[in-house]
Structure 1
Amino acid sequence: MTADLAELSARFCAALRAQGVAVGADRSARFARAIMVVSPRRVPELYWCALATLVSTPDEIDVLTRVFSAVFESADPADFRGDRPQATASAGAFTASDSRPSRDLRTAMAGSPAERLMSRDFADLEPEELARLREIMRRFELATPRRRTRRKRISATGRRVDLRETLRRARRSGGEPAVLSRWTPRDKPRKLVVLCDISGSMEAHARAMLQLLVCAAGGARAEVFTFATRLTRLTRALARNPAAAMRRAGEEAPDWSSGTRIGASLREFLDTYGARGMARGAVVVIISDGWETGDTGELRAQMARLSLLAHRIVWVNPRTAKPGYRPAVGGMAAAWPYCDEVVSAHRLDAVDELLAAIG
């Protein structure tokens, strides 16, 4: 029986980690993207996708070859040696070792429900279809740029001498400082703040983006707010498993699927949280189609305030995916000059733009 490609790929990455290969969420996501771009028809072609995305040193190649052969039973390690895949390599595509005719990889990929959903707009997905994408969303990593802090750490390559640590160590040598201790500033990831529009026009995309935050590595560290006619903080509600988090989000945001007052919601966020420190130096992601039912002048003023506090403003608008889109009128026109990046992220295979903009 043909196995599910996504399931086998996840098992393959887990097996590599068990063998000591550092396959994190970033490498797993690159492997998944390589499969979607290359669309390998034969097992050796899939091997080259894995080799290009999952290893970083020559020592890991033999481990990858051995684990690949074990996971994808129809693959022979001898087929993957040399400069290119052998023409006589196994034509099996994730098929068990039996006497039935094998099928190519394209057929196997077409049979994977999750892979088929990657190229569909979030607005077209039913709730149960969106739930199938959770495993793939776990391969993504939300990583913000790092910033220098006021804290320090001892480092042999530090440029400044740590007098206190030098004197402390000097006590071991009778007060004579044998070695000068040096220090360097610590750094840490910048804060990630997400403001998600949950009005009627954004309901489907909002659920997808909130699910991504729950599933993706690093998403749990984000401060998450929803807004429509009012602002609601959902950070604690989303720090649970995806299904429970989405139910809790619906309970805590009573204005779900209502109108949109973006400017007023931004003002409330800045007055209550942002100006007090949450937005300072942070990467702020606003998820909205820009349909403002309030005063666009208010939105422009609050975006100007936010731009003075945030390190970077990323606006996610699924409507920008349409050919010829222009922010000519309304809220999007008011907000556009203050955005460092505007992306669509309207389907799973377009989320890479969002991850790059955040990082």
Structure 2
Amino acid sequence: MMRQGTLPLASAPFLHFARLLRRHAFAVAPEQVSSFMQAVTLLGPRSMADIREAALATLAPPPNRRGEFEAHFRNHFHGDGQPSIEGEEDEETRIKDDHGTRQEEKQTTRQEKGGELSSAIEQLSSRDFLRDDDGLGPFRRKLASTLPARRSFRTVRTHSRGKLDLRRSLREIVSADGDIPSPQLRRRQTVPRKLLILIDVSGSMKLHTSDYLKLAHAAVQGADRAEIFTFGTQLTRITSALRIRDRDQALARAAALVNDWDGGTRMGPTLLAFLSVPRFSAFARGAAVIILSDALERGDHADLETAIRRLSARAFRLSLATPLAGDPRFQPATAALRAILPDLDDLIDGSSLGSLTDFILSLARPAPASSAIWKRVS
């Protein structure tokens, strides 16, 4: 986006409006911001209606979020106060990358367990992680060689089972004065697929968050193309923090980045926010995507259903690991979980590190029949 220091002072409100839309998960490209400000310049403008029409034409809000766009426009340019948007959450979904600024943290003494106190209310807090022996060393060493692979468009030389490399073969013929040497062959490389792990850090998952972060650190250390995000009421990318080799330092850095530990959960909106950022959405394309969450979405689950459907379309394999499945009596019977089951490739037990590491190391094997996911539903 344009630097504010190189622009006239009068342009600041328009630049701030584009940033406001981005903070609320609108997909606004730098080119659109430039077009918006150029349109305002061409129109004069003579009235706020001209600015509004320029914003609609250049920033192009999706039809299903037009009402939200109008509310943010009135709030920003008319000072109508906080926008009240029917069907939207009261709190915005914030997106935080590894290098983002740290927001004010609030300490909490609220005690939650299981999924009974699942909530959509934002509650910010910090978290500390202590060292213990978790046995993740073998998982870290095996991960790179066991991830599912894909054929790259790049090629490498080979002595058998490849296609004729005509250029190298002709060069060999010329250098051998017309003699026909052994044919030169090339084949397409095989590279591991990306691994994307999305970790629910809401209050209903607090008993498992520590283990999940240790697993994520081992995944980043063991695989070159692993990406880790946390979500609760906000979305935070913590991959860079987990690249620190020392686990204590890495988890301390991650704990400092994430502000919404043990708070509420807005799974649908945060996953949609993830998909609204092109750079983040690209992480899911062709990747093995694992969501570590109990999927206890409060209220309307339409956003969750939309997000899972879009993730499934991008991913090579989409899996949900829920600690609730550790109970032999577990059935995916909630409305939200039943709605997303058709788009999942796996629904697995996420109650222990052992079950999770065994599953991740088996991702290269074909997924079971989709009917096996909900076979226990009565």
Q: Is the Cα–Cα contact under 8 Å of residues 293 and 320 in structure 2 kept in the other structure?
A: yes
Kindly indicate whether residue 359 of structure 2 is the aligned counterpart of residue 350 of structure 1: no
| Count of residue correspondences | 233
Change (3 A) 1:182 1:294: farther
Tell me how large the CA RMSD over aligned residues is.
2.4
In structure 2, what is the equivalent of residue 232 of structure 1?
236
Local SS of the residue matching 2:311: helix
The answer (yes or no) to whether the contact 1:237–1:248 under 8 Å persists in 2 is yes
1:253 CA displacement: 1.0
Q: Percent identity of the aligned residues?
A: 34
Q: Is 2:212 the counterpart of 1:209?
A: yes
Displacement after TM superposition at 1:357 (Å): 4.8
1:2-21 alignment, distance < 5 Å:
none
Q: Distance in 2 between matches of 1:264 and 1:357?
A: 30
Is the 2:215–2:353 Cα contact (8 Å) retained in structure 1?
no
Q: Is contact 1:213–1:220 with CA below 8 Å preserved after alignment?
A: no
Gaps of 5+ in 2: 1-113, 115-127, 365-378
CA offset digits 1:213-254 (Å, max 9, x no partner): 213562563100100011111110111121111111111111
1:336 shift after superposition: 2.2
SS for the counterpart of 1:211 is helix
1:189 aligns to what? 192
Shift of 1:315: 0.9
Change in 2 beyond 3 A, CA 1:287/1:348: closer
Q: Distance in 2 between matches of 1:275 and 1:246?
A: 21
Residues 131-154 of structure 1 deviation map (CA, whole Å, 9 limit, x = unaligned): 3224x1111133320100100111
CA distance in 1, matches of 2:218, 2:310: 31
SS in 1 for 2:150: strand
Alignment-derived partner of residue 271 in structure 1: 276
Measure the CA separation in 2 of the matches of 1:202 and 1:276.
24
Q: TM-score, normalised by structure 2?
A: 0.57
The residue number in structure 2 matching 1:199 is: 202
- 1:173 is aligned to 176
**Counterpart-to-counterpart distance in 2, 1:251 and 1:311:** 32
- Contact map agreement 2:197 2:216 (CA 8 A) in 1: no
CA contact (8 A) 2:290 2:321 kept: yes
Change (3 A) 1:232 1:275: closer
Separation (CA, whole Å) in 2 of partners of 1:236 and 1:305: 26
Match of 2:156 among 153, 157, 160: 153
In 1: Cα distance, 2:358 partner to 2:277 partner:
30
One-letter amino acid matched to 2:318: I
TM-score, structure 1 as length reference: 0.60
Shift in CA distance, 191/205, structure 1 to aligned 2, threshold 3 Å: same
Higher helix share: 1
* Partner Cα distance (1:327, 1:181) in 2: 55
Q: What is the alpha-carbon distance in structure 1 between the residues aligned to residue 212 and residue 223 of structure 2? A: 11
Q: Aligned in 2, Cα 1:228/1:200: closer, same or farther, shift over 3 Å?
A: same
Letter of the 2:340 counterpart? A
